[in-house]
Every structure is written in C-alpha cells, then in structure tokens.
Amino acid sequence: MDDLAIETPRPAAAARAERGDDTEHFDVLIVGAGISGIGGAYHLKVQCPNRSYVVLEAQDAFGGTWHSHRFPGIRSDSDLYTFGYRFKPWVGPPIAVAPEIRRYLGEVIAENDLAPRIRYGHKVRSAVWSSRDNRWTITAEAGLDGRPARFTAGFLWMCQGYFRHEEGYTPDWPGMDSFEGVIAHPENWPEDLDYAGKRVVIIGSGATAATMAPAMAKDAAHVTVLQRSPTYYIPQPNANEFFEQLKPLGLDELLVHDIVRRKVVVDMDEITRRSFEEPEALGQELLAGVEAYVGPEQVAKHFTPTYRPWRQRIALLPDGDMLEAIRAGTVSMVTDHIDRFVPEGILLKSGEILEADIVATATGFNLSVLGDIDFVIDGKPLAFHETVTYRGMMFTGVPNMAWVFGYLRNSWTLRSELIADFVCRMLNHMTERGAKRVEVALRDQDHNMPLGPWIDPENFNAGYLLRGQGKLPQRGDKPEWQHTQDYWREKDDFPAIDLEDEVFRYGVRGRPHATPNP
C-alpha cells in the first residue's frame, strides 16, 4: 500500500450490495487516478459542481506512473512547475522524485476532499455504450478476488495513461535464460533487489536509464549503460533561476507558480521551434552542454545522435548527475548491439562481453490503448484504429467520451488540464442545451481528407508509439483532426473551440445524430 494511500469510505455501496442492486450510476466516470485523473476530478468538482462522478483506479493507491514505478532514483524528466497542476503551486526544485510527486498529489486529494470519489482496486474491463439509453455501462474487476462491479455513466473520461503498468517492453534476446544473474525491468522493479557491490548493466539510454545509472552507481560496483544509439540530454542545475529570484519577493505562491510556468513554457517552445527550424545549431548546443562534463571523445563516441533533437524525448539531467558519474568513473557508456545473453553477462556484436550480476532492461513501454478495456458501441466492438481523432481527445463514432493523451515534448499535465477545461465546458454546454449525448463527426468537406497514423514518425519516433501505431486512431490533415503536440497553439485554440460547430453532433435520446445541430 502506498504511504499516502487513502481508504475510500463506501457505506452506500455496501447498502446497495445488501439490497442486491449493485449497479451505481454517475454522471461522469473517470478511469485512472494518476495525475490526469486526479486533475480531472478536481476540475469536475470546481467547474461542474452539480455533476456526480467517480474515479476507478486499478491499483491500490493514487499516483499512476508515480505509484507503479519503483526503480532506483525514479524522478520526473520534466519540471514540476509545468508537470504540476496550474492550481497548486510547486515549491520544490524543478525535477522531483516519485515520493515527492505522490505527496503533491496526496495534498491535492486531501485539500479538495477527493478521496471519497476514488475507488481503488477497480480494474475496468469493459465499457458498453447504448444509444437507446445514452449511457455507458462499465464493468470492473474489484478487490483482490476480482468480483465484478457495475456502473453506469453519462460520460466517460479516460485518464488511463498510455502504457501497461503491469509489464514493460523487453525485447526477446537470445540466451536470456542462460544468464546467471538477475534481469529486471524498471516497470516491475523488485524493490528488495540488492545491487550494492554488484556489476550492473542498464540496457537503454532514455530518461529511465539516465535516472537509474547515477542512482545505482552510488552503491553498485559499477554501472554500464549499454545503448544501441545515442540520446540527447540537457544537463542543468536542479534549480530554476527565475523561481529562485521570485521566491524571496513575498509574492503569492500561486502567482509565482503561474509566472514560472509561463517562463518554462516559453523556453520549451523555443527549443521545440529550433528543433524544427535550426536542428543542427540546437544539436550542437546540446552536445556542447554534455561535452562540458565528459569531453569531446566521449561525446563523439556515445552522445551524438543521428536524428534531429526532439524526434525522441530529451532527458533532463539534474545537476548533470549521470555525466558527473561518468566523469567519476562509476558509470560508463557502451554503444553497441547485443548479440546474445551468455551466463556471465551480455555478448556484444563487437565480440566484447559485458559481465553483469544485474541487467536492467530500460527498453521502454508497452502501449496500452484505452486501458486495455473492451469497448462496445451499440453492440459493435469499437475498432479504435478506424476512428479519426478530434484534437487528440475525442473520436469519430465514440459518443460521450474524452481521452487524455498528453504532450511528448512538453509536460503531460499541460494538456491534461486543457482537456479537463474542455470536458467541463462541454458538460456544462450539454446541460444548457439539454443534450444527453455528444459525438464528433467529420464535416462533409473533411470526408476526403488524407488520413495518416496518430503521430507522424518523422515528427516523433519513440519505440512504443511506433510499435503501437496500428492500435491508435487516425489523424487527418488539419490541426482539428490531429494531436498536434503543440501546446503553444492549443492553449489558445482549446478555450476558443465553438461547441456549436458542426463537428459536434448532439442528441437528446435515441440513435446517433438524433438531433443534429441547428
């Protein structure tokens, strides 16, 4: 159980179970109590105070990513001024470790009395939409015995994250069974694994590997980071200069938070803009930052990616910790390909053997689309990959549902809050309009637009997205029918969305599009 887990009082449910009537109804059902779901619950409470809602969470505590991941050193890779909510100031250093993030989320739950709305240990298995009733029927497996729990809801708000929490992605290398040491994936890291004095090899060089390496190097005999190809990093002090200047001025914390967030967003947007417009100059600056720690030879060998910056997530290194560890000799980088596992370690294509007691496979996620829930719409299984996304949050042919997929180049939460505002505005609009359902549909002129994969691999090519692309909805050729990954634009576009635009089809009751827009 998490240190901050909050028990949910459920007297009403118990009473209903005794009566043999075990289906509960809520206006809104949120799936997931990670940072998106908790934020969603807060915004619903504040912006739609008359709506009933419940949050169903598969795990035994809140936090999502920050509860399920327990690998050494686990921390954010973006700053908490933007990864935190806009309504709750972050007053610590920009990069935070998981317990600090869980504490922050726990405070949001406590300060806003959200605990009674969250049901832990509820894994949603199916969501069935009926256009006759304009309702979702949701079935979850509840508790340790997995007993079925049934709910109905007017609106489904999917805050289930994007990866399968139970197991990470590990390629199937030959000889793994012959290895005499321990192989562990950061997503299911055995917290009692003792690595003191052990030789550790971490496979991968993304943010997770860059987090684990310096953390494990403090106790391990040695840590080797084995990568196929180099990654971009930004080493920087774990302090925000701007925040440090504003802090002593005695300003309201929320005001300082807002100003620092804006500054971070402007800086991040500048990096993104340059990654497209002047990738070479930006790339050289990033490499120079690394070179200042480890020198030109290491940079040429292990830190010069072949892609332009931001085609994959760039990891921040607080206080340059991984590079400091390389300089100190407790961590070393190897750039090579795995031939096979052998009893004593890993045989590389170059013929070298990396001896290891522990191999950490920081090789990524398995994408979980819609929380691995079976969706059925009016008797027909939902083929999610056949839908077209409306701004990366709603989908053609899927009524009364919003899905949170955050940013890849900015903090996830910036987008989850934009979506929260949109969902709340939409729910209030439906009430005013007397509508029971809303669905997005292509306009006549959009029917012939070219469709493509969810994210253009030229734009962003993370492995889990490429592996899962076929399960994701399609995008059109206009920002409206895409997840643009562009916070700068969406922060203005989302609040300005005209809810009476013809893409929104409202209905009072009955079959789809029963009452088209006037």
Ligand X SMILES: Cc1cc2nc3c(=O)[nH]c(=O)nc-3n(C[C@H](O)[C@H](O)[C@H](O)COP(=O)(O)OP(=O)(O)OC[C@H]3O[C@@H](n4cnc5c(N)ncnc54)[C@H](O)[C@@H]3O)c2cc1C
Cα-only R_g, the chain:
24
Site map 275..294 versus ligand X, x via CB under 6 A: --------------------
* Binding window for ligand X (CB under 6 A); candidates: 171-179, 368-376, 436-444, 501-509: 368-376
The nearest distance, CB 368 to ligand X, in angstroms, is 7
Provide the 8-state DSSP code for 313: P
Distance CA 79, CA 242 (A): 13
Burial class (CB in 10 A: 0-12, 13-18, 19+), 8: middle
Closest CA to 43 of 61, 55, 26, 58: 55
The partner residues of 348 in beta bridges, in order of sequence, read 338
Q: Tokens 């120079």 label which residue?
A: 288
Q: Which is nearer to ligand X, 131 or 205 (CB)?
A: 205
Site map 394..433 versus ligand X, x via CB under 6 A: ----------x-x----xx---------------------
Q: Which is nearer to ligand X, 68 or 396 (CB)?
A: 68
Of how many residues is the chain composed? 518
Q: Which is nearer to ligand X, 32 or 181 (CB)?
A: 32
* Binding window for ligand X (CB under 6 A); candidates: 54-62, 222-230, 395-403, 486-494: 54-62
Q: What is the DSSP string of 491-506?
A: HHHTTT--TTSTTEEE
| Binding of ligand X by 481 (CB under 6 A) | no
Applying CB under 6 A, among 53, 72, 78, 290 the residue interacting with ligand X is 78
The nearest distance, CB 416 to ligand X, in angstroms, is 6
Q: Which is nearer to ligand X, 233 or 341 (CB)?
A: 233
| Binding of ligand X by 59 (CB under 6 A) | yes
Give the contacts of 413 (CB within 8 A, at least 6 positions apart): 35, 36, 39, 82, 83, 84, 85, 406
* Binding window for ligand X (CB under 6 A); candidates: 158-166, 224-232, 453-461, 501-509: 158-166
Residue environment code for 176-191, b if the CB has 16+ CB neighbours within 10 A, otherwise e = eeebebbbbbbbebee
* 515: its two tokens: 């009452």
* Binding window for ligand X (CB under 6 A); candidates: 52-60, 238-246, 348-356, 384-392: 52-60
Number of residues counted as binding ligand X (CB under 6 A): 34
Q: Tokens 């925040």 label which residue?
A: 243
Distance CA 78, CA 495 (A): 25
| Binding of ligand X by 231 (CB under 6 A) | no
* Binding window for ligand X (CB under 6 A); candidates: 155-163, 245-253, 427-435, 457-465: 155-163
88: left (phi over 0), alpha (psi -120 to 50) or beta: beta
Site for ligand X in 373-392 (CB under 6 A): 373
Distance CA 191, CA 214 (A): 17
Distance CA 266, CA 249 (A): 22
The nearest distance, CB 84 to ligand X, in angstroms, is 10
| Binding of ligand X by 31 (CB under 6 A) | yes
The nearest distance, CB 33 to ligand X, in angstroms, is 6
Q: Which is nearer to ligand X, 412 or 422 (CB)?
A: 412
Does residue 474 contact residue 389 with C-beta atoms inside 8 Å?
yes
* Binding window for ligand X (CB under 6 A); candidates: 74-82, 102-110, 229-237, 417-425: 74-82
The nearest distance, CB 265 to ligand X, in angstroms, is 13
Applying CB under 6 A, among 54, 108, 127, 159 the residue interacting with ligand X is 159
| Binding of ligand X by 485 (CB under 6 A) | no
Q: Which is nearer to ligand X, 114 or 441 (CB)?
A: 114
Distance CA 405, CA 392 (A): 7
Site for ligand X in 110-129 (CB under 6 A): 122-124
Q: What amino acid occupies position 389? A: T
Three-class HEC string of 209-260 = HHHHHHHHHCCCCEEEEEECCCCCEEEECCCCHHHHHHHHHCCCHHHHHHHH
Site for ligand X in 167-226 (CB under 6 A): 208
Dihedral of alpha carbons 482, 488, 492, 494, sign: positive
Closest CA to 151 of 25, 9, 12, 31: 25
How far the first Cα of the chain sits from its last, in Å, is 52
| Binding of ligand X by 272 (CB under 6 A) | no
| Binding of ligand X by 160 (CB under 6 A) | yes
Applying CB under 6 A, among 26, 29, 37, 326 the residue interacting with ligand X is 37
Q: Determine which helix (DSSP H) or strand (DSSP E) holds 282, and give its type and residue range.
A: helix 279-302
Applying CB under 6 A, among 24, 77, 417, 490 the residue interacting with ligand X is 77
243 vs 266, 285, 316, CA distance in Å? 15, 24, 18
| Binding of ligand X by 65 (CB under 6 A) | yes
The nearest distance, CB 108 to ligand X, in angstroms, is 12
Q: Which is nearer to ligand X, 56 or 346 (CB)?
A: 56
Please report, as ranges, the residues that interact with ligand X according to CB under 6 A.
31-37, 56-59, 64-65, 69, 74, 76-78, 83, 122-124, 159-161, 165, 208, 371-373, 404, 406, 411-412
